[in-house]
Amino acid sequence: MRTAGRRGGSRTARGVRVIALALAGAGLVGVTAPTAGALGTGPHRGGVDARALDEALEGVIETGGASSSLARVTEYGRTAWKGAEGVGDFSTGAEPSANGRFRIASVTKTFVATVVLQLVGEGRFGLDDSVESLLPGAVPGGAAITVRQLLNHTSGLFDYTDDPAVQVDTETWLREGRWRSWTPRQLLALANGHPPHFPPGTGWRYANTNYVLAGMIVERVTGHDWRREVERRIIDRLGLTGTSLPVHATAIRGPHAHTYLDLPGGPVDVTEMEPSEMDAAGVGISTSADLAAFLRALLGGRLLPAPLLAEMLTVAPASGAGQYGLGIGRLTTPCGEAWGNNGSTGHGHNSAVYATLDGRRLVALSTNGYRDTGQGWNTTQKLLATAFCGRQPATAAPTG
């Protein structure tokens, strides 16, 4: 393990495919919906407890069953603690690095939503403009679906990742699905082959389809691929040197921990995968430092003017415990509210980044799930609670 100020030995991974801060829909590609409101309430408390954070991170491995996990906690933009636990490479026994890169899955949505809101601020279109007006014929009933409803998941559209062409068994995914290339139009066609779950604006249901459409809107309005706009407007502007948005590249470039599936025949390395299936819903790769810099800049008003940031932080009433705004979610910890996002590829890659609105405390983490002990979410809750409270809570909060 590596942490700020101390180093210990690596540990053999025991336990679970951690569900990356998401209880509902585990296994969806691109990501699952954030779970908020599960950690209790109370005022934010003082300093970082490095020993408690070390123990909480160890728990994600020892009790939660992840093969590796890394995390970073910042105070007003400065790293107060960082750590990494587990095994980064089963073939060599190498330790993971706290500075390593990882797939961020649906945290990508926060980047995309930020660019969409920037375009709204530039007068290119409005949040309440229809999908039909921006992407004629893209989806049935698009005249009744607004950009806002895409970003906050109230469109009612079917999630293409639930289609049998994507939602395949593990053996089929390893053999075929893992390497299959997709275009946004193909993904959209899968969703359009199913009826909507409800009329637009009358309910809430997480759907990666919404963000494939958001990426297509960015391209239609700017004339550039959505990746280029995210790079120009956010990644390059903030100097996020560890962040990338691959199109078809299967590998993670730079230092990173490997991800494994625990199968009857032994562990299978699934670090490499064709990312196009996730598109604007979740192709991103980043580091804990970059995610921390991005979220701090976003919540600090450096990327959006105050009125649009307020729109972003307005949660959809129908999102219930998810408390989802426009590409960002509200998490309630034992020490107060935090804002951010989390993601899971559904194949072991899990990530999250959350911060207090005042910028005082921020935590970014990545967990490579492995064995299912049933304690993955509980151990991740403890890590989050420890990061925001400066100590581990005396008892675990209920998971609902």
Bridging pattern class, strands 285-287 and 101-103? antiparallel
State the Cα torsion 294-296-302-307 to the nearest 10°: 110
Amino acid making up residue 142: G
In angstroms, rounded to a whole number, what is the distance separating the alpha carbons of residues 369 and 361? 25
- In 4-60, where do the E strands start and end? 6-7
φ and ψ of 84, to 5 deg:
-145, 140
Contact 58, 352 (CB under 8 A): no
Contact 163, 176 (CB under 8 A): no
Contacts of 296 (CB under 8 A, 6+ apart): 74, 77, 355, 359, 362
Question: Tokens at residue 330, please?
Answer: 């509200």
In angstroms, rounded to a whole number, what is the distance separating the alpha carbons of residues 78 and 139? 44
Question: Tokens at residue 344, please?
Answer: 């899971």
Selection from 177, 172, 341 nearest residue 250 by Cα? 177
- In 270-314, where do the E strands start and end? 285-287
Query: Which 3 state secondary structure label does DSSP give 196?
Result: coil
In angstroms, rounded to a whole number, what is the distance separating the alpha carbons of residues 208 and 282? 8
Residues recognised as catalytic? 106
Question: Tokens at residue 331, please?
Answer: 């998490």
In angstroms, rounded to a whole number, what is the distance separating the alpha carbons of residues 102 and 275? 13
| Residue entry with tokens 């983490």 | 365
Burial class (CB in 10 A: 0-12, 13-18, 19+), 202: exposed
